[in-house]
Copies of this chain bind each other. A is one copy, B any other.
Amino acid sequence: MSSRRPDHVLVIGAGLMGTSVALALVRAGVEVLLDDPDPAHLRVAVSLGAGTPMSSTGPDAARAGTGDVDEVGLVVVSVPPAVLGTVIAEALVRFPGAIVTDLGSVKAATLDDVTARAPDHLDRYVGGHPMAGSEQSGPLAARADLFDGRAWAVTPHLRSRPDAVEAVEGLAHTCGAFAVSMTPAEHDEAVALVSHLPQVASSVVAGLLTTGAEGHLVLAGQGLRDVTRIAAGDPALWSQILSANAEPVARLLHEAAEHLHRIAVTLEKTEPGMPGAGDLRRSLERGVSGVRRLPGKHGMRPEPFASVPVLLPDRPGELARLFADVGRAGVNIEDVRIDHSPGTPAGLVQLAVHPDAVPALLEALEQHGWAVHG
């Protein structure tokens, strides 16, 4: 992995992702030019300090920027999936001295598209995909720290130049991320599994909630909320992403559908009140194994944190008081979940800590009168 800092970067597309990359680069002292067909987006990004605008046409193109367009060493393309290949190919032709990368969510179809449109310039293109984002969109939601500590997939191909790969890895590093190198096909298989399948499954479960009686949803708990949170994502963007990775996603969706069907058939054969057949239990056990495979905090295996529940009055300052009490005891909180209780003005806070820290935490909570069951 290279830590080479890029110089004179042009970011094409000043939405959430492009503007965040620009802000992260400016934070690192890199000179950034910005381009976007939407003048409002461009204006917002510039006003946020994400770089200097570059007029995309006309004789003022060079003069409007911070320097000569010929000085652009790296172009980062961050435009919607439907036009991604076209804009990358145009950038390769327009900036013959520059490395070109993108931030798109799928990589094989994009590479095919670029190969078809700019076959002679392919050696200067290396795809990238930072594993960060937001349910929000647009430059106003951009953040310089969006990529801090995140994985950033870098997808070299057979014809990519080593210095192009190094430049894209350097970009990831400069933005605070760590580069993970894989082929475009590997990348698409991976995100189909870890991102696109859960997205569609979440949407399908959430979609079925539209069929339930209003009164039934009062029984909804935290589990349902967790499973359906990402279903609130932008349908227009997600239908483009899923379409661009159609084959691996369709294969996994068929597989998931088969599993659901099989579990349903097992249930139909079950006598009411009797324990489920071995098949059902094996499906659920497989899920437990899958969860255990997820990397935990800091990219490690999940650590078995202990969870301590504390009842929290719903008024300003209570959370402050709780964390101050805990902080004074020298206990490091690994995770926090606030579970608001429907019908009462109180919330339940789940504090996750290292098992070793539980006694000190309980002592501190008891000492300060927090309602907790030790």
Contact = CB atoms under 8 A, between A and B. Distances in A.
A69 interface: no
A198 interface: yes
Interface residues of A, number: 159
A268 B250 contact: yes
Interface string A67-79: 0000000000000
B180 A256 contact: no
Contacts of A201: 201, 204-205, 227, 260
Contacts of A250: 264-265, 267-268
Contacts of A231: 284, 287-288, 290-291
Q: Which 4 A-B pairs have the closest CB atoms?
A: A320-B327, A149-B341, A203-B287, A299-B342
Given A145-B373, A273-B81, A287 B207 contact: yes
A187 B212 CA distance: 12
17 contacts: A109-B273, A112-B272, A148-B341, A178-B344, A200-B260, A201-B201, A201-B205, A204-B260, A205-B290, A217-B295, A239-B276, A239-B280, A249-B267, A296-B340, A299-B342, A320-B328, A321-B327
Interface in A203-224: 203-221, 223-224
In terms of DSSP, what is the predominant structure of the interface of chain A?
helix
A197 interface: yes
A193 B216 contact: yes
Interface in A58-92: 81-82, 84-85
A115 interface: no
A283 interface: yes
A186 interface: yes
B260 A257 contact: yes
A142 interface: yes
Given A143-B309, A228-B294, A275-B240, A299 B204 contact: no
A204 B327 contact: no
A276 to B, nearest CB: 4
Contact of A326 (B265, B285, B320): B320
Contacts of A191: 219
Contact of A289 (B210, B286, B327, B331): B210
Interface stretch (A36-44, A118-126, A161-169, A311-319): A311-319
A290 B145 contact: no
Given A207-B259, A226-B229, A293 B238 contact: no
